[in-house]
Every structure is written in C-alpha cells, then in structure tokens.
Structure 1
C-alpha cells in the first residue's frame, strides 16, 4: 500500500514538474508576446504591422522562405533517397553530416557563407564578374535559410523510406511498370507525408532565422531586411510594442504550420 501511494505521489510530482516547466518556458513567454503586442491597443498594433518597412520585411521573409523550402524539398528528397537506397564509401559520414546545421551555431553558418561566397572569395569574385552578386543580396539569404533548414526534409523522408514495403515496388516492376511510373505511383505517395511535414518545419524555421542571415543579408530596409532582423532593430530602437506586433505575425503563422504538421503526421499514423 505504501509503495502504491509513493508511486502515485512520484507520478503526480513528475507530471506537475513537466507541466510547470512547459508553462514557464513556453506558455508564459507566448502570452507575454501577445500581451505586449496589444498593450497600446488595436490601432497601434495595426499601425505596427502595416508599417511599410515591417510589411516589406515580412513579405521578403515569406518569399525567400518559400524559395528556400522548395529547394530543400528537391534536394532533401533526393539526398534522403540516396542515403537510404544506395551503399557507397563515406555514406555514414555524409549521413551524420546532415545534422551539422542543428549542432552548429547559426552565426558560424553565416560566417562560413560570408567567407566562402563573399566579395573577397573566389566564388564571390567570379560571380561579381558575371554580374551576379551573392552576399548582401537575396541569394545569400536563401543560402543561409537552406543551410539552417537542410536536415528537416531529409530526416522526415528517411524513416518512411526505411519502413516502405519493397514488395509493392517489386510488384509494380513485375507488372511492367517503368521506374518512373513506379516512383510516382508507388514510392512517392509513401514519401509525401514526410516531404510535407519536413517542408513545413523547414519553412517555419526559415521564417525565424536570424543568426545566419544577419551576417550575409546587408539588412537594407525594403531590399534585404528580413522580419527577424527588423524585430531586432525595433527592440534596439526601444519600440518593443512594434517588435512584438511583428513577432505575433510570425508566431501565429508558426502555430498554424505546427498544427498542419501534427495533422499530417496523425493522418499518416491513422489516428
């Protein structure tokens, strides 16, 4: 009896600790952002989010995040396919390097891009001679976003490829289907939930990127100033309400993306 009582108290204490941890580190800060954004009323909030610089920063962030996500979908799907379906020297090393953007500080990633593609580098100098500037322009922002979101699609696709029943693929070949037809009618539908969830996570992550982008964007208002850097600038200007207002837009969009990811995953698991 005493053992059961202690077990229940331990279980109750563990649940309470987890809930308290969740509330203190996630719920309260989120509520604080929404409260701060509307602290001066609805009109100042609307003026903050419709400010031309803020609107351009959010619009540019959305556009470049979509481009980076599309590239990640294509590259991530192909890389995930190769790492699962083929065996070659160095495969394990490459597979481990996929998670490097998660472990590497994003500011270091931005510095790497600056050193490799900046005006003083071979690639940067060559691109300038060809009339295409990379660093301090939109291409550098896209590259930075791709770097920090690189693992999402790959890690979402790989488990689905590993779990795939190869008998369906073999049956398709036996019935005379080509490799392309088999891929798009048998393999791709099985990969699609992972591609979608990985893409949405990559898009959400790209929206909020700061460390890698701030070093390579140039941060020119209306041209290369993205939302995260705009928010940082508003805080430095002591306009916390304006920063919170723009943050609410990104936060709400991230919530919607997270909900969509959970919906896709629950449908895949049949829940």
Structure 2
C-alpha cells in the first residue's frame, strides 16, 4: 500500500496560496453553493418524484412537451452558434482596430445586459411583426411569432456573453504573433485558422456555453415575439408557467427537471471539449 507521504504529487492536495484561510473559504464556498444551488435543485427533483416514473415518462413523452423542448433547445443552440461567429467578429473589431465611435460601440454591446428582457421583447416584436419596420419588408414571409423570431431574440440577449468572453483573451494575443506568422510565410487564412482560433477556442466555447444556457432559460424577451403557439413556437419555460397556472406543480417541476438534465448534459459535453482544447493547444 502506498503511503500518503510517498504518494505521487498529483494526488496531494495543494495549498492554493501562501495566504492562509483555505479551509475556511472552502467550507464557506461549499455551504454557499449548497444553499443557493444544490438544495433548490434537490427540491426540484424531490417535487417531481411525486409523479412516479409513470407520470414522469408520460410528461416526457408528451408531444407538446417534446415540441416545447425542441423549440427551446433548438433555437438556443442556433442563436448561440450565430453569436459565436458574429461575436468573434465584433470582439476582433473592438480589439484590433481604433476608429471614431469605438468606445460607443463597445458600450452598446452591454445594452442587452442592462435592458429589461420584457422591454427587449416588446421592442423586437414591434420591429419584426408583420406591420413593423423590418417585418413588413419580408412579407408574406413572417419573422415574428415563429421560431425564427425566437432565434432573433436569443441572438440579441446572447451576443454580449460571447463578445465579453472572447475579447479579453483576444487582447492578450500579441500582434507580434501574427506578424511572425506572416514573416514565416503564412497567409491570412492560415494565421486565423492555425494561430488565432486555436488560442481562442476555449474562450469561444465558454461564450457559446454561456449564450446557450441563457437562451434555454430565457422567458421575458421571447414570449412577446414567439407568439406562443403550441407545437409551433411555444417554449418550455412558458409551458412550465402554464402548468403552474393550472396548479400542476408536479408537472411543472417535471418539465423543469427534464430541462435541467438536458442542459447539464450539453454543458458537460461542452466543458469536456473545452478542457480537451486547452490541453491540445497548450492553454491550460
């Protein structure tokens, strides 16, 4: 049996800092996380368990529930993917170029953080509705009151998560790295794909995960532009509210539990990919 004193260094608990108080802060962190996160989640599982496996599977396989989950997760994934592309572009412009109005645009990125979600939903609906400024240009093709309108709303509220996650990492990449790549014969495409993107991949995945998580649980900015048509544009959070209004608390917690499990699984996979990219490109 290996003695603790002679165990490999990787298995030893390392003191994170020379500053004392690790045990106290760790205990406080665990107690705080348990109170704020673990206990409410445990209550969610306990309440949904009142249905039993039969009732839980009945809700899980219900066509309306499945369609609402598909709309919520599908639109959140598409919106997060779009935000990854344009969020990186916005972060690049704000980081690499100096131009008049740069600080104003930089401040505008944070507007979705400060704007109440209901106000954002009303504004987007007014613009993209069939009689709105933009919606009227695309008639008879409809944007509002469809899943496409939900995607637009989620893009609006999710863009800052990608920009603010990628921007600090991009600022740390020295311009000399790009110049050295060009000196060694790399073209612009090779510099972006082989030098910049590998270094930005963990931050991009983090921004994607944050935007996706926000989109899945978004309610205020979506219900106005979605139209809330069952089997078409009804989101899972709205279905939970409908269950609560019907005093079907067990059914509401069951749908919430399903959303929690799916979200946790997807975010866990994203974190695994992020950890792999850090090891692969030496950013750990």
Q: 1:183 and 1:12, CA in 2 relative to 1: closer, same or farther beyond 3 A?
A: closer
User: What secondary structure is seen at the aligned counterpart in 1 of 2:247?
Assistant: coil
User: Which of 226, 229, 234 is equivalent to 1:220?
Assistant: 229
Please tell me whether residue 118 in structure 1 is matched to residue 118 in structure 2. Answer: no
Post-superposition Cα deviations, 1:48-77, rounded to whole Å, max 9, x if no partner, equal: 111110011111222212211121111111
**Contact 1:197 1:264 (8 Å CA) reproduced:** no
**Contact 2:71 2:147 (8 Å CA) reproduced:** no
Post-superposition Cα deviations, 1:184-235, rounded to whole Å, max 9, x if no partner, equal: 1111111111111111221111111111111111111100111111111111
Deviation of the 1:254 alpha carbon: 2.7
TM-score by length of 1: 0.88
**Contact 1:217 1:224 (8 Å CA) reproduced:** yes
Distance 2:110 2:273 in 1: 23
Corresponding residue number in structure 1 for 2:3: none
Distance 2:142 2:65 in 1: 25
Deviation of the 1:165 alpha carbon: 3.1
User: What secondary structure is seen at the aligned counterpart in 2 of 1:65?
Assistant: helix
Corresponding residue number in structure 2 for 1:245: 254
Corresponding residue number in structure 2 for 1:65: 76
Corresponding residue number in structure 2 for 1:81: 92
**Contact 1:84 1:158 (8 Å CA) reproduced:** yes
Distance 2:27 2:202 in 1: 34
Bigger drift between 148-157 and 116-125 goes to 116-125
User: What secondary structure is seen at the aligned counterpart in 2 of 1:41?
Assistant: helix
Please tell me whether residue 43 in structure 1 is matched to residue 54 in structure 2. Answer: yes
Corresponding residue number in structure 2 for 1:174: 183
Deviation of the 1:270 alpha carbon: 5.6
User: What secondary structure is seen at the aligned counterpart in 1 of 2:51?
Assistant: coil
User: What secondary structure is seen at the aligned counterpart in 2 of 1:89?
Assistant: coil
Deviation of the 1:21 alpha carbon: 3.7
> How many residue pairs end up in the alignment?
262
User: Structure 1: which 5+ residue stretches go unaligned?
Assistant: 1-7
Distance 1:249 1:160 in 2: 34
Distance 2:175 2:22 in 1: 43
TM-score by length of 2: 0.84
Distance 2:227 2:131 in 1: 16
Distance 1:13 1:198 in 2: 32
RMSD, aligned α-carbons = 2.3
Q: 1:90 and 1:270, CA in 2 relative to 1: closer, same or farther beyond 3 A?
A: closer
Corresponding residue number in structure 2 for 1:4: none
**Contact 1:152 1:202 (8 Å CA) reproduced:** yes
Corresponding residue number in structure 1 for 2:42: 31
Deviation of the 1:40 alpha carbon: 2.2
Q: 1:13 and 1:35, CA in 2 relative to 1: closer, same or farther beyond 3 A?
A: same
Corresponding residue number in structure 2 for 1:162: 171
Corresponding residue number in structure 2 for 1:186: 195
User: Structure 2: which 5+ residue stretches go unaligned?
Assistant: 1-19
